[in-house]
Chain A
C-alpha cells in the first residue's frame, strides 16, 4: 500500500502549522518558563545556601577567586559566578535571576527607571578598583599624552600623530565594543561624554586590542591594566594637564589616586544585602578579600 500524500491537501498543512504554532506560542512568554529558581535545584535536607553572581567580564576573575576562598571556609555555601558583561548582570538583577550583580560601571539612569517598575532598588557596594591603561605600539615615539589630547584622539578631532609629537601618520584608534563597561567608563571620564569618533575601530575583547596594538604601528587603544602588563605594547603615561608629569598606571599610582583613569568595581544587591550575600560581601571587603584583589592583579581599596 502506497501512502497517498495527495490526499493531504493544502488545508491539512495549514491546520498542522496552526496547531503547532499554538503549542509553541503557549510557551513563548519570555521570562516565565526559562528561569529556574536557584533554590529549587538543591535538596532540602542539606542545609546549604546558594548565591548567584552575574555581570562584568572584567570582574569574573576576581569574584571567582573570592567565591572559591569563601566556600573553602563555608562548605555549606554554594556560590556561582558568571560573566556576560556589566549590563547583563544588571539586567539579570532586574529580571530577578541573580542575587548580586557585578558591574565595572555605575548603574545608568535608564536602568534605575526600569528598576522602579520592577520593584528593584539597587544598593551599590564598591569592592575593588581597576586601572585602565592607554597603550600604543612599542615603536611609537609618543610616551605621554594629556587627558585632553586623549579625549580629542578618541572623539576624532586629532587624527595625526604629528599633532601630539609623533610621526606624520594617521592615528588608528581602537576601543572596546559598546557593550563593554570599560567603553562606557572611558566615554564618561576621558571623552567627557563626547561621542567616540566615527573611524574608531570597535574590538570584541581586551585581547584583540592588545593583539592589534602589537601589530599596527600607528594605533592607540585602552585595556584593563592586567591585560597591558606583560604584553608587547607600550603603556603611555597620562597627564592630567600640560604642567603635571605623565603617570603610568600601577598598583601604587592607581591606589593613591594619582593615575587619572581608574574606576571602582561595584557589586550591586537588591536593597540591603542580607544573609549569605551580606556575609560574602563582608568577606570581600575584609583584609583576606582585599589580599585576593592584589593577588589577582586588581587594585585593593586600601
Chain B
C-alpha cells in the first residue's frame, strides 16, 4: 500500500514537472523554428538590401527588403505609447496606493481591469473612427492614419499593466519608511515623491518595461490605424509600418520557402528577441528588488 502511494506521488511529481517545463519547451521550439526558417535569409539576400530604407516585397522590379523602416516604425510607435502611458500609469498607481480611500480603490481597480480586457480589434475600430479623426482636426492633419493614433491605442493597452504592477511595487514599500519620513516632519506629498517612489523605483521601472513588452508585440490595433506605409520617419504625424503589422499582413500569401517568406521569419525572430530582452530585464529588476528587501 505504502509502495503504491510512493509510486503515485512520483507520477504526480513528474506530471507537474512536465506542466512546468512545457512553456520553456514552447519558447525554445519557437526560437528554433523561427531561426531555421528565418536565418537562411541572411545568406540569400544581400545585407545592403536588408539594411536598406525601402520595403517593397511584392514588386515587378527587384523586391526590396529594407527592414529599417519596419524597425523604426515599431520603435517610434512603442516610444510614443510609453511617453503617453507612463505619466498616467505611474501617476494613477501613486494615487491608488498612497492617496485613494478604500471605496475609491474598489471602484477604480475593476475599471482598469476592464480596460485590459478590451479586444484589440475593438480598440482598433475605436481608433479608426473616433481617435484618428479627432487627432486629425486637433492638429490640422491631412490624414488620420498616423503613428500617433496607433501610439494612443497602444498606451491604452499598456496602462493596465503599468498601473497594476506599479501599484503593487508602491504598496510593497515598508510602512516604516513612510512613518520615518512623516515623523521627521515631511508632508505626505514630500514623503511620496522623495521616499516612497524612489524606494519602489525598480518595481515601477519594471512595470513600465512590462508595459513596453506588451506594446511592441501588439498587432491588430496598430495595423488598423497607422496606415502601414514603410517610411523611415521620426514624426508622430507620419504613417508607419510596424514589424507586427508587416508579418500579419504579408504572411498569409507569401510563397512557401521564398526569400520574402524567410525574411518575414527573420523579422519575427528580431521581434521575439526585442520583447524577450525587455521582459527579462524587467524580471531582473523585480527579482532584484525582492532580494534586497529580504536582506
Interface residues in B198-253 (C-beta closer than 8 Å to A): 223-224, 227-231, 239, 241, 249-250, 252-253
- Verify if B56 is at the interface (C-beta below 8 Å from A): yes
- Verify if A188 is at the interface (C-beta below 8 Å from B): yes
**How many inter-chain residue pairs (CB < 8 Å) link A and B?**
127
Chain A interface bracket (under 10, 10 to 19, 20 to 34, 35 or more)? 35 or more
Pick from A12, A17, A198, A212: contact of B231, CB under 8 Å? A198
Whether B253 pairs with A172 at a CB distance below 8 angstroms is no
Q: Mark B251-264, 1 if CB is under 8 A from A, else 0.
A: 01111101000000
Whether A110 pairs with B258 at a CB distance below 8 angstroms is yes
Give A26 Cβ to nearest chain B Cβ, in Å. Answer: 13
Residues in B neighbouring A211, C-beta threshold 8 A: 128-129
CA distance A58 to B252 in the complex (A): 15
- Verify if A46 is at the interface (C-beta below 8 Å from B): no
Residues in B neighbouring A184, C-beta threshold 8 A: 58
Which of B21-29, B179-187, B265-273 has 4 or more CB atoms under 8 Å from chain A? B21-29
- Verify if B83 is at the interface (C-beta below 8 Å from A): no
- Verify if A98 is at the interface (C-beta below 8 Å from B): no
* Known A88-B252, A91-B256, A184-B58; contact A201-B143, beta-carbon cutoff 8 A: yes
- Verify if A3 is at the interface (C-beta below 8 Å from B): yes
Q: Mark A196-217, 1 if CB is under 8 A from B, else 0.
A: 1011111110001001100111
* Known A87-B254, A91-B256, A201-B143; contact A193-B18, beta-carbon cutoff 8 A: no
Q: Mark B9-27, 1 if CB is under 8 A from A, else 0.
A: 1001100011001101100
Whether A198 pairs with B54 at a CB distance below 8 angstroms is yes
Whether B142 pairs with A201 at a CB distance below 8 angstroms is no
Chain B interface bracket (under 10, 10 to 19, 20 to 34, 35 or more)? 35 or more
Which of A175-183, A227-235, A275-283 has 4 or more CB atoms under 8 Å from chain B? A175-183
Residues in A neighbouring B13, C-beta threshold 8 A: 3, 5, 8
Residues in B neighbouring A178, C-beta threshold 8 A: 57-58, 249-250
- Verify if A37 is at the interface (C-beta below 8 Å from B): no
CA distance A36 to B78 in the complex (A): 41
Residues in A neighbouring B223, C-beta threshold 8 A: 204
Give A11 Cβ to nearest chain B Cβ, in Å. Answer: 13
Residues in B neighbouring A218, C-beta threshold 8 A: 142-143
CA distance A131 to B256 in the complex (A): 30
- Verify if B133 is at the interface (C-beta below 8 Å from A): yes
Residues in A neighbouring B239, C-beta threshold 8 A: 199, 201
Whether A193 pairs with B136 at a CB distance below 8 angstroms is no
**Chain B residue nearest in CB terms to A198:** B231
Whether B250 pairs with A193 at a CB distance below 8 angstroms is no
Whether A17 pairs with B250 at a CB distance below 8 angstroms is no
Whether B228 pairs with A203 at a CB distance below 8 angstroms is yes
Interface residues in A146-196 (C-beta closer than 8 Å to B): 169-170, 172, 177-179, 183-184, 187-188, 193-196
Pick from A169, A195, A201, A216: contact of B229, CB under 8 Å? A201
Q: Mark A123-160, 1 if CB is under 8 A from B, else 0.
A: 00000000000000000000000000000000000000
The winner among B18, B227, B249, B253 for most chain A CB atoms within 10 A is: B253
- Verify if A249 is at the interface (C-beta below 8 Å from B): no
Residues of A within 8 A of B (CB): 1, 3, 5, 8, 12-13, 16-17, 20-21, 24, 84-88, 91, 94-95, 110-111, 114, 169-170, 172, 177-179, 183-184, 187-188, 193-196, 198-204, 208, 211-212, 215-219
A–B pairs, 12, beta carbons within 8 Å = A3-B12, A8-B17, A20-B22, A95-B256, A114-B255, A177-B228, A179-B58, A183-B58, A195-B54, A202-B241, A204-B224, A218-B143
18 more contacts with CB within 8 A, not counting A1-B9, A179-B250, A198-B54, are A3-B12, A13-B21, A20-B21, A85-B253, A86-B253, A87-B254, A169-B142, A178-B249, A199-B239, A201-B227, A202-B227, A204-B223, A204-B224, A208-B128, A208-B224, A211-B129, A215-B133, A218-B142
